Amino acid sequence: MDENPFPDLFTHDVSIMDMAKQRVTCPDCGRKRMYFCYSCRMYVNNLQTVMPKVELPVQVHIIKHTKELDSKSTAVHAALLAPTHCHIYSYPDIPEYNSTSDVVVYPSEDSMTVADWAKSWSSNSTAVNTCEHKQQPAVRTIIFIDCTWTQTHSIISSPQLSGLVRISMCDYHTQFWRPNGAKRGATYLSTIEAIYFFLREYHTTYLNLPYDAEYDNLLMIFKFMFLKIKKFHNGGDNLKAYRHK
pLDDT on residue 219: 97
> Do 89 and 203 reside in the same domain of the chain?
yes
> Do 114 and 126 reside in the same domain of the chain?
yes
- Pairing relationship of beta strands 59-64 and 86-90 according to DSSP bridges: parallel
Q: Is residue 2 part of a domain?
A: no
pLDDT on residue 120: 85
> Do 96 and 28 reside in the same domain of the chain?
no
- Total domains present in the chain: 2
Where are the extended beta strands (E) located within 99-182?
A: 102-105, 112-113, 128-129, 134-135, 141-146, 165-168
pLDDT on residue 140: 95
Q: 3-class DSSP state for residue 58?
A: coil
> Do 24 and 60 reside in the same domain of the chain?
no
pLDDT on residue 133: 40
pTM of the model: 0.87
pLDDT on residue 121: 73
> Do 95 and 133 reside in the same domain of the chain?
yes
> Do 95 and 31 reside in the same domain of the chain?
no
Domain extent, residue 132, equals 52-170+195-212
- Using the 3D structure, point to which of 25, 51, 77 is the last residue of a domain: 51
pLDDT on residue 15: 96
**Phi and psi at residue 105, to the nearest 5°:** -85, 110
**Phi and psi at residue 90, to the nearest 5°:** -100, 120
> Do 40 and 73 reside in the same domain of the chain?
no
CA atoms of 218 and 90, how far apart (whole Å): 21
> Do 45 and 73 reside in the same domain of the chain?
no
pLDDT on residue 151: 87
The list of the chain residues with pLDDT below 70 reads: 1-3, 122-137, 178-187, 233-245
> Do 41 and 143 reside in the same domain of the chain?
no
pLDDT on residue 131: 41
137 cis-preceded (ω within 30 degrees of 0):
no
> Do 56 and 31 reside in the same domain of the chain?
no
